[in-house]
Amino acid sequence: MATFHAGIAPRLEDVRDEFDRLWTSLTTAPPLHGWPAAPAERPFPAVNVAESDEALVVETELPGLDAGDVDISVAGDELVLRGSRAGRPEQPEGDGEQPATVTWHRRERGSGTFERRIELPVAVDATRVEARLVDGVLTVTCPKAPQAQPRRVTVRSS
């Protein structure tokens, strides 16, 4: 679960932006993208799962992570995703004359560690699980164990 939370008191701009957010949520598609700063009621990260004849595929969005930041394992009937994202303590960008200050106007992107366990409805071959992480999208392909694949039955005519 994300462990970062914003501790800034609400200001007028924030109230205005709440209305903007409300309007946007009414006029655009459902949210839960990226990594929310506040701990969400829903499990994190959100996943999409699909099943074909050959494999189970699990996809999730992990912006900012590369292969070394995520740990994927299959144990029994569970796929376990673990990882973490570091927060950024921004340094002031001065140029000699500037006061060296950093002011955060928004902190919506969270950071911290996560662990998500996804139940696998069919047996998979753990030795052949593959994962790709491209542009912040993680795709885990779990080939089904031979006994879980659909069997084609030959119909004999005599």
Partner 1 sequence: MATETQTELTYRPNVDICDRGAEVLIVADVPGATPDAIDVSFDDGVLSVHAPVPARTLPGRSLRQEYGIGAYRRSFKLGEGFDASLISAECRRGVLEIHVPRLAAVRPRKIAVRTA
Give the residues lining the site for partner 1 (CB under 8 A).
Answer: 21, 24, 28-37, 42, 46-53, 55-57, 59, 61-66, 88, 90-95, 97-110, 121, 135-137, 139
Cα–Cα distance, 154 to 20 (Å, whole number): 61
| Least Cβ distance, residue 90 to partner 1 (angstroms) | 5
| Least Cβ distance, residue 28 to partner 1 (angstroms) | 5
Name the residue nearer to partner 1 (CB basis): 106 or 128: 106
Name the residue nearer to partner 1 (CB basis): 82 or 116: 116
Name the residue nearer to partner 1 (CB basis): 30 or 156: 30
Cα–Cα distance, 65 to 47 (Å, whole number): 16
Cα–Cα distance, 132 to 140 (Å, whole number): 7
Contact 32, 119 (CB under 8 A): no
| Least Cβ distance, residue 157 to partner 1 (angstroms) | 32
Cβ count near 98 (within 10 Å): 9
Name the residue nearer to partner 1 (CB basis): 119 or 155: 119
| Least Cβ distance, residue 156 to partner 1 (angstroms) | 30
**β 112-119/55-61 pair status:** unpaired
Reduced to 3 states (helix: H, G, I; strand: E, B; else coil), residue 152 is coil
